[in-house]
Amino acid sequence: RGIMMHDFAITEHYAVFPDIQIVMKPAEIVRGRRVIGPDHEKVSRLGLLPRYATSDSEMRWFDVPGFNMVHVVNAWEEEGGEVVVIVAPNVSPIENAIDRFDLLHVSVEMARIDLRSGSVSRTLLSAENLDFGVIHRGYSGRKSRYAYLGVGDPMPKIRGVVKVDFELAGRGECVVARREFGVGCFGGEPFFVPASSKKSGGEEDDGYV
């Protein structure tokens, strides 16, 4: 059964694909029913495929129960490529991910996949209702420190933007700055424009949102 894969991540050596609990049921269309829906019996997984794989047999799957990643913030490798780190919002409850965005809550997590042991650990970065995360594009697929995410009020209305510091992972709330738009004012997905290129030696968070 197909899934609603809306986004995926890349690292230096891998493409990272989500296999989530929001599934596609094409046969339902002939019955006049919804094609997309939740599957509570399914176990969410993350799949790692080498970027230059010649066969899907090279895909490795890792169970990550309850991790329903629809959008990706960033992903990278650590410990000589033996650990893959993914930062992404986790959607819950999945029933509301289709047409009740106003009841949706999206928390931001960091998942670490240990390729040696096959284990996956997860760390909550923020319990706020955050989505549509962006980073300095020069750090895509490479280790980064900061992300900028929209604050749902509720989703899909965005009432402000927050800055998240990944280096605070495991020490509680990782939101380090915010900008609220004001009563009755809403924005869209944030976008980060660096003041200088990564190659020129500028700081990762030197830029404009």
- pLDDT value at residue 200: 60
* 3-state DSSP percent of the chain in helix, strand and coil, to 5: 15, 45, 45
**Per the annotation, does 13 bind a ligand?**
no
Token duo for residue 195: 């003041």
Confidence tier at 198 by pLDDT (50, 70, 90): low
- pLDDT value at residue 132: 96
- pLDDT value at residue 54: 96
CA dist., res. 161 & res. 181, Å (int): 8
Mean pLDDT on 84-109: 91
**Count of C-beta atoms within a 10 Å radius of residue 29:** 10
Q: In what order do the strands lie in the sheet with 9-10?
A: 9-10, 14-19, 45-50, 60-63
| Statement: residue 86 has pLDDT above 90 | yes
**Per the annotation, does 71 bind a ligand?**
yes
Check if the beta carbon of residue 132 is closer than 8 Å to that of residue 150: yes
Q: Where are the domains of the chain?
A: 9-208
Determine phi and psi for 118, rounding to 5 degrees. Answer: 80, 5
Determine phi and psi for 98, rounding to 5 degrees. Answer: -95, -55
Across the chain, what does the average pLDDT equal? 94
CA dist., res. 117 & res. 61, Å (int): 13
Mean pLDDT on 126-153: 97
- Rounded to two decimals, the pTM is 0.92
- pLDDT value at residue 77: 99
Check if the beta carbon of residue 78 is closer than 8 Å to that of residue 143: yes
| Statement: residue 7 has pLDDT above 70 | yes
CA dist., res. 163 & res. 133, Å (int): 9
CA dist., res. 164 & res. 125, Å (int): 8
Mean pLDDT on 141-155: 96
pLDDT (tens digit per residue) in 182-195 = 999 999 999 999 99
| Per-position DSSP letters for 7-38, written without gaps between them | --EE-SSEEEEEE-SEEE-GGGGGGT--SEEE
